[in-house]
Amino acid sequence: MKDAAKKNGIFLGKMELQELVRNAHKKRFLLTAENVGSLGGPYLTKLKGRGMEFSEARPYQYGDDVRHIDWRVTARTGTTHTKLFREERERPVMLVLDLSRRMFFGTRQRLKSVQAARIAALTGWRALLRGDRVGGVIYSEGMHREFKPRSDRRHFLRLLSNIMTEHNLIADRMNNNEWSFGSNSLFAPALRRVRQVVHPGSLIYIFSDFSGFNAECQKHLFQLSKQNQLAAFLISDPLEKETPSSGRYAMSDGEAVAWVNSENSKTRQLYASTYEDQLKNLKHELQLCRLSLKMLSTVDNVSEI
């Protein structure tokens, strides 16, 4: 890599991910009233207990703290009622970043891997500003890194530095023709590991093109969704959705070569419909896993997400 500091859409610049904190300050994720407490951390557990946020009033039971008697409800109903509260707490946020070789593809502005790293960084900055603890799982063919969720800014900067370093090493190898199309899916092993390290009640973000999604991935996501909230950004490139301008183009999976004639209207229609059908099926399967999915192209401005 000759100039990693330059933001060229192939390599990640030295300060590219760190500088996104400015965008995080400009626009925060909007949290619904259901998820926001007025005291303490921004999230509420579903468990009713002796926390800080009022939940409801119910008839007094033997053993209830008399200090929590709701005198207004008691006077109105004529029956002694006590207040119940929900415990407030900060939520661990886990960023799962796919840096497999299939993510190192792009035809406009930047690679999918660069876009994934950018939206992951921005999501992490926004979580830190909310007071959450942020960690990450980063994986590729030759690398797997884990960072426990912490609210420490320096800890998050180390995570971002690791993302930049590992990403640019892979891009460097590709530039030096150290390239291979791996057929094995890394997605499932990564999700299996996430299940082992994540704490219940976490908010898990996944940044990937989901090219490695299979039945095992679906199983892991479903199990994760039982005790956590799942969200994902599906990263795509415009060329994956529609054929390029009129002409004949060679396409290869690293072994076989096929030619596409984009001058043929039926070919263009088949190309686009195949992508839409695959996307529709993927969305349906992810919906069964109770995963919230957002689409993000390599040409999109992450600051507007």
Q: Are strands 43-49 and 81-89 parallel, antiparallel or unpaired?
A: antiparallel
Higher pLDDT, 6 or 302: 302
pLDDT tens per residue across span 239-287: 999 887 778 888 776 678 888 788 888 888 998 999 999 999 999 999 9
Distance of CA 29 to the CA centre of its chain: 13
Quote the CA–CA distance of 224 and 192 in Å, as a whole number: 9
Name the strands in the sheet holding 53-59, side by side, starting at the edge strand that comes first in the sequence.
43-49, 81-89, 53-59
In which band, very low, low, confident or very high, does the pLDDT at 183 lie, cut at 50, 70 and 90?
low
Tokens representing residue 213 in the block: 């999604």
What does the pLDDT read at residue 91?
Answer: 84
Compute the average pLDDT of residues 170-194: 84
User: Is the pLDDT score of 27 beyond 70?
Assistant: no
Q: Write down the mean pLDDT value for the chain.
A: 86
Quote the CA–CA distance of 77 and 194 in Å, as a whole number: 50
Quote the CA–CA distance of 225 and 95 in Å, as a whole number: 15
What does the pLDDT read at residue 218?
Answer: 97
What does the pLDDT read at residue 268?
Answer: 86
Place of tokens 């529609």: 242
Compute the average pLDDT of residues 11-25: 93
* Domains present along the chain, CATH in parentheses: 18-31+91-304 (3.40.50.410), 43-89 (no CATH)
Compute the average pLDDT of residues 8-35: 76
**C-beta separation of 146 from 174 below 8 A:** no
User: Is the pLDDT score of 35 beyond 50?
Assistant: no
List, as own/partner pairs, every contact residues 57-65 make where C-beta atoms lie below 8 angstroms and the sequence separation is at least 24, other chains included. Answer: 57/81, 57/82, 57/83, 57/84, 58/82, 58/84
Q: Name the nearest CA neighbour of 12 among 121, 139, 127.
A: 121
Quote the crossing angle between the two packed helices 215-225 and 265-288, to the nearest 10°. 40
In which band, very low, low, confident or very high, does the pLDDT at 122 lie, cut at 50, 70 and 90?
very high
Angle, CA 253 vertex, CA 248 and CA 255 arms, to 5°: 105
